[in-house]
Chains A and B, each alone.
Chain A
Amino acid sequence: MRRGLKPYQHTANSSAAAVWDGVYSRVTSASLTHLQSLEAESIAILREVAASFERPVMMYSIGKDSSVLLHLARKAFFPSKIPFPLLHVNTTWKFREMIAFRDAMAEKHGFDLISHTNPEGLANGINPFDHGSSRFTDIMKTQALRQALDAGRYDAAIGGARRDEEKSRAKERIFSHRNASHAWDPKNQRPELWRVFNTRLNPGESMRVFPISNWTELDVWTYIYSEGIELPTLYYAKERPVVERSGTLIMVDDERFRLEPGEAPQQEMVRFRTLGDYPLTGAIRSSAATLPEIIMEMQASRTSEREGRLIDSDSVGSMEKKKQEGYF
């Protein structure tokens, strides 16, 4: 009885080139394609932020969703530069390539980049090995984010979360209100009708804004493909040094990685579906080295992208709890 997306079966007489033109030519017919509507909706949201808040900031996590967000922001304000800074909360445990990619993007697109690391966390040497993923995440991510937002007195923080990622995300508004201690009150969200956003805040309060709320993972990938958006190569399959721990493949990205006795990194053809702190991000075995291959592989996959994120699998409702504590 179950049915769903089947990968397209090639038929003998269809003309690939003709269809291809139809998909990616800019609007020539009157109605927009699905991706074009999503893009327009996100651009409108970004402009609403710029027009309504005094000190907006955009979270830049260097992953694919952030890359899409960056691309959308460049489009939203063109020919002006992005009228707000991009904020990277750096736990110091990111993949090295991510940091290099981040700096290259800032250079190339000329945006204002702010990088923040929790100074106490740094001083105390907080790391995922000794302190566990949840404590590490709390100190180096949640608290660091709060520090950065408070220090910048930002009244709106734009993030790349999508509603299809997780069940509590599916419940969140596009303009999501936070009280003075950055907490989300899921039972008391403002009604959000049409595309009329209530952007009003009282002193100390702030807003989280999610312009790509209505995008699915597939939308993100097809958009990256059609727009030619640059991504870190970590998303593409390549031989990488990994160790396997309780079923998860972890890449040994630098010398800080603690190998267990008898453990040795193996070269494996892997890629990442999501990027974060390398000791906490699971790789998948894959040979998908191009975007089309990634998209096709994703269609056939039977696991969700969050499975690669070790911090989410703790318990049901853990994301909601984190958000109530001020996690993005």
Chain B
Amino acid sequence: MSLPLATPDTDISLWLAQQTDKSLLRFLTCGSVDDGKSTLIGRLLYDSQLILDDQLASLKKESHNRTVGEEGIDFSLLVDGLTAEREQGITIDVAYRFFSTDQRKFIVADTPGHEQYTRNMATGASNADLALVLIDARKGVLTQTRRHSFILSLIGVKHVVLVVNKIDLMGYDEATFDRIVAEYRAFAAPLGFKTLAAIPVSALRGDNILAKSDRTPWFDGTPLVPYLETIEVAEDRTLGKLRFPVQWVNRPNLDFRGFSGTVASGIVAVGDEVLIASSRKPAVVKRIVTMDGDLQRAVAGQAVTLVLDREVDISRGDMLSHAGETPEFSNQFQARVVWMSEEPAFPGRSYLLKLGTQLVPATITDLKFRTNVNTLEQTAATKVDLNEVATVTIATDKPIAFDAYASNALTGGFILVDRITNATLGAGTIEFGLRRAQNLTYQSFDVNREVRAQMKGQSPKIVWFTGLSGSGKSSIANLLEKRLTADGRHAYILDGDNVRHGLNRDLGFTEAARVENIRRVAEVAKLMADAGLIVLVSFISPFENERRLAREIAGDIDFVEVYVDTPLEVCEARDPKGLYKRARAGEIKNFTGIDSPFEPPSTPDLVLHGGEEEPVELSDKLHGWLKF
């Protein structure tokens, strides 16, 4: 039905070859509002003859009543494609535009300068190799110039061109240019850009864009386009360690099971032994399948399907690497985040974290500091507001495979998603894992307490609270549980309320029943700790013998006896459930402290004085003492 392909005609094949040989540069424009970013991109599109006749005609009509150059065009209209943008004369969201010259192809992201839309600038920066930081020559370096530059360094854009624009409005003055460049260089020094060039430009009038302008004879650098055509930015991702995130399990029938994904870095070849991050199991690559036929090897950037030589449990989100060159596999790391939501980020809150193909619940466990975008100063903070950058620690619900962002952006960059609205709230770059990189070994492990605990990122323990009724055991335990949960830990409280009404419903308050009560609770606590939990047991447990029994049942599980020592008078005065009153009235028999003894522990691990401090302070004290 379609026409047969003509035999490649010489001219076109050569022409195509020339096109294909062109390298690609992805860059973005950024800087403060109205500095002329969109105008500059419009100018580039126009000058590279990308604006076709029909578009030009409608553009001239639209440029009526706007700032126009000699061509009679407001170039920003070429990129500001949204109605709201054209009405307000500002850029709101990134525009991706494409142009090419004889030397190179370019994909440019024109990003908004307005602070409110900083997230869109970060979006544009995340796939760019180079940034044009624009400055209005009349205004110099502004807060937003600094913020954008800081985000560039966070995202890892290594090459920057400082475009001092609107130089026409400053009479093409050399001193103005020099002053701005000096100020910017001083600010940017700690940001670690690999290259930083500065060019005086008029986007509107076309000075120093394609060729050197006569109006800036003092400028001895390269004009913008020739500079962009020649700067070397390519980083060869094939030289990195192999990272193959499994994206989709390819299972057309029972005889074929392949793992589809894109090689994030490095090279994978048939016959390679690879290690699966989650199970630490090895396998050998048997085939590299594509619709164009099997490959012998696949390199960074290629989308392929791997078939392994054995049945192994692999699903989406798993990562394959070479043995000895494994990614980190952990549930805690330190990262820098840029916050993109009106609703601030708080430590303790749960989000969804997506890194590569992995999606897990995650919590910001600690907010180390916030970085002031103007001064790069680090200050303490309790939350991260919109457009702020902070350094945090994050705990994920289960371990994930990752690398430091500096060594691999594709396996070290993540987003945080709201669990209810599903909005993207922030983006982060991992600095380092917080437990030592686990050397993934070949050995497959047994599932035991240690492994389960490691999955939860904690060491299980039993915290046994003893003390009179009303001494504050439950309040302290509740506060501690909240705190632990906020930290991303998994804790559980066993107390009279949830045990007496169920498991121990059949037990009364005779001495034998009390012993059995404690025995059962101790056994349950042990099972829970074995499952990896931190168990908080809050029972009066008045007898030394019972408590010893509980400790014995715990065996080699970390067992902490906390004595909440609150004087009887205080407890009786509080009497939250009216039990003391009823005991005094004789309505309740065998009530500890009234007609049944309480044996204070002889060797408690910690004593909390419930009569002297508030539960909050006591729980904080305990939390600190337990060193989670």
Chain A interfacial positions (CB closer than 8 Å to B): 1-8, 10, 14, 16, 19-20, 22-23, 26-27, 30-37, 39-40, 43-44, 47-48, 50-51, 74-81, 100-101, 104, 163-164, 166-171, 186-187, 189-198, 200-202, 213-214, 216, 218, 222, 225-226, 228, 230-233, 236, 289-293, 295-296, 301-304, 307, 316-317, 320-321
Contacts and interface: CB of A to CB of B under 8 A. Distances in A.
Contacts of B50: 4
Given A80-B252, A196-B356, A303-B54, A8 B15 contact: yes
Nearest to B258: A79
B237 to A, nearest CB: 9
B374 interface: no
Interface stretch (B88-96, B189-197, B567-575): B88-96
B545 interface: no
Contacts of A290: 3, 5-6
30 contacts: A2-B49, A3-B47, A8-B15, A20-B13, A23-B20, A27-B302, A31-B238, A32-B302, A33-B20, A40-B262, A44-B261, A47-B303, A48-B247, A51-B247, A77-B250, A80-B251, A80-B252, A101-B1, A171-B81, A187-B82, A187-B92, A192-B123, A194-B413, A196-B355, A198-B417, A225-B5, A226-B16, A292-B8, A292-B12, A317-B82
A225 B295 contact: no
A79 B252 contact: yes
B17 A76 contact: no
A304 B55 contact: yes
Nearest to B26: A214
Interface stretch (B98-106, B454-462, B530-538, B587-595): B98-106
A283 B422 CA distance: 45
A266 B305 CA distance: 52
B392 interface: no
B90 to A, nearest CB: 11
Interface stretch (B178-186, B286-294, B578-586): B286-294
B210 interface: yes
B591 to A, nearest CB: 53
A182 B48 CA distance: 37
Given A50-B248, A200-B352, A23 B13 contact: yes
A175 B291 CA distance: 25
Contacts of B120: 189, 191
A138 to B, nearest CB: 18
Nearest to A164: B98
Nearest to B96: A163
A77 B258 CA distance: 10
Given A20-B17, A76-B303, A193 B5 contact: no
Contacts of A194: 126-127, 409-410, 413
Residue of A78, A213, A289 ringed by the most chain B CB atoms within 10 A: A78
A226 to B, nearest CB: 8
A167 B303 contact: no
Nearest to B82: A186
A75 B304 CA distance: 9
Closest CB pairs A-B (n = 9)? A167-B81, A4-B49, A8-B15, A290-B6, A200-B422, A292-B12, A19-B17, A78-B291, A80-B252
Given A171-B94, A317-B83, A5 B17 contact: no
Q: Is the interface of A mostly helix, strand, loop or mixed?
A: loop
Given A23-B17, A214-B107, A236-B3, 17 more contacts: A7-B11, A20-B8, A22-B17, A32-B301, A187-B82, A187-B84, A192-B126, A193-B123, A198-B424, A200-B422, A202-B422, A228-B5, A232-B1, A233-B2, A290-B3, A296-B12, A304-B54
Contact of A74 (B107, B252, B291): B291
A272 B196 CA distance: 47
A1 B93 contact: no
B81 A10 contact: no
B413 A303 contact: no
A236 B258 CA distance: 39
Contact of A191 (B8, B62, B251, B424): B424
A198 B563 CA distance: 49
Contact of B248 (A33, A47, A195): A47
Given A19-B14, A232-B2, A171 B52 contact: no
Given A23-B20, A171-B94, A216-B98, A303 B52 contact: yes
B527 interface: no
B317 to A, nearest CB: 9
Contacts of B58: 316
A230 B4 CA distance: 9
Given A8-B18, A167-B81, A292-B9, A198 B422 contact: yes
Given A1-B47, A191-B340, A303-B52, A198 B20 contact: no
Contacts, number: 270
B424 A190 contact: yes
B-side interface size class: 35 or more
B12 A295 contact: yes
B443 interface: no
Contacts of B507: none
Q: Interface majority SS on B: helix, strand, loop or mixed?
A: mixed
B3 A170 contact: no
Given A230-B2, A292-B12, A79 B415 contact: no
Contacts of B206: 1
Contacts of B409: 194
Interface string B253-297: 000101011100001000000000000000000000111110100
B96 A213 contact: yes
Contact of A289 (B3, B8, B13, B18): B3
B336 interface: no
A80 B415 contact: no
Interface string B286-327: 000111110100110111010000000000100000000000
B608 interface: no
Nearest to A104: B1
B337 to A, nearest CB: 11
Interface string B13-37: 1111111111010000000000000
Contacts of A39: 303
B227 to A, nearest CB: 16
Given A170-B95, A191-B120, A26 B295 contact: yes
Contacts of A292: 6, 8-9, 11-13
Which residue, of B12, B46, B50, B299, has the highest number of chain A Cβ atoms within 10 A? B12
Contacts of A231: 2
B20 A34 contact: yes
Contacts of A169: 81
A253 B97 CA distance: 36
A79 to B, nearest CB: 5
Interface in B104-129: 105, 107, 119-120, 122-123, 126-127
Given A1-B47, A74-B291, A166 B414 contact: no
A34 B22 CA distance: 8
B214 interface: no
B185 to A, nearest CB: 28
A196 B299 contact: no
Given A77-B250, A78-B305, A289-B3, A296 B11 contact: yes
Which of A36, A192, A232 counts the most chain B CB atoms within 10 A? Answer: A192
B11 A201 contact: no
B79 interface: yes
B15 A296 contact: yes
A196 B251 contact: no
Contact of A291 (B6, B52, B423): B6
A10 B256 contact: no
Contacts of B234: 31
Contacts of B119: 191
B262 A34 contact: no
B123 to A, nearest CB: 5
A228 to B, nearest CB: 6
A104 B1 CA distance: 9
